Amino acid sequence: MQSVSPKLINMNLIIRKSVILMLFLSSSLSASSLTLLIETKDSMPREEMDIQEKTRVVSLESGVMDVLFDKGHIFFNMFSLKGDDSSSESEMEVLNYAKELGAGFLLVLNPGENGAAWHLLRVDLMSGGGEGFVNLSDTDDTKKPGERWAIMGTMLAEEVVPLIH
C-alpha cells in the first residue's frame, strides 16, 4: 500500500476549503443580485438606422449594462434576445416575456435627440418602479458622441440602481 504524503493531504484540504469558500461567496452574491430585462424603444429597426443613431442606442445600452454588471446584477437585453422583432411587441408582451425569463424588473429606455427617458417596472406587480430623463447636455460636450451616450447610460443606471434595492 502506498502512503500519501502530508504535503498532498495539506494541498487537498486547501483546495476543499477554497471550493467551499467560493461556493459560499457565490451564493451570498447571488442572493443580493437582481435580474432585469432591458428594452430599448428604437425609433426604427436598427438595420435601417444611420451610424449616428445606432451609435447612440448601442452606447446608451452599454453604459447602462456596465453599471448593472459592476453592481452584480444580471440583465438581458431584449434586442440581443429577439432582434428587431422586439420593437413591435407591446409593453404587456415584454413584461410577460420578462416574467418568463425570471426577471424582477423591466427597464425601458427611450433614447431621443437630446437624451433618454426611462421607466422601470416591477415584473411581479406589473407596476411602476420609477421613471426619469437623462439629458445629453449633462455630459462633457468635448467627448465623442458614443462616449457621451455611454456616460449618459451610466448616469441613467445610477438613477435606477437605488430603485431596485
Compute CA 12 distance to the chain's CA centroid, rounded to the nearest angstrom: 38
Higher pLDDT, 52 or 128: 52
Indicate whether 108 pLDDT > 90: yes
Q: How high is the pLDDT of residue 29?
A: 42
Question: Per mean pLDDT, which range of 5-9, 50-54, 82-86 is the poorest?
Answer: 5-9
Looking up cell 440583465, which residue turns up? 75
Query: Hunting for cell 487537498 — which residue is that?
Result: 12
pLDDT at 87: 60
**Residue-wise pLDDT tens digits, 130-141:** 999 999 999 998
7-12: average pLDDT:
54
Nearest to 139 by CA among 148, 131, 147: 148
According to the model, what pLDDT value does residue 3 have?
Answer: 57
More confident residue, 28 or 110: 110
* pLDDT reading at 150 higher than 70: yes
Q: Which residues contact 68 (CB under 8 A, 6 or more apart)?
A: 36, 75, 157, 161
- Contact between 94 and 37 under an 8 Å Cβ cutoff? The reply is yes
Confidence of residue 27 (pLDDT cuts 50, 70, 90): very low
- Nearest 5°: phi and psi at 49? -75, 150
Whole-model pTM?
0.75
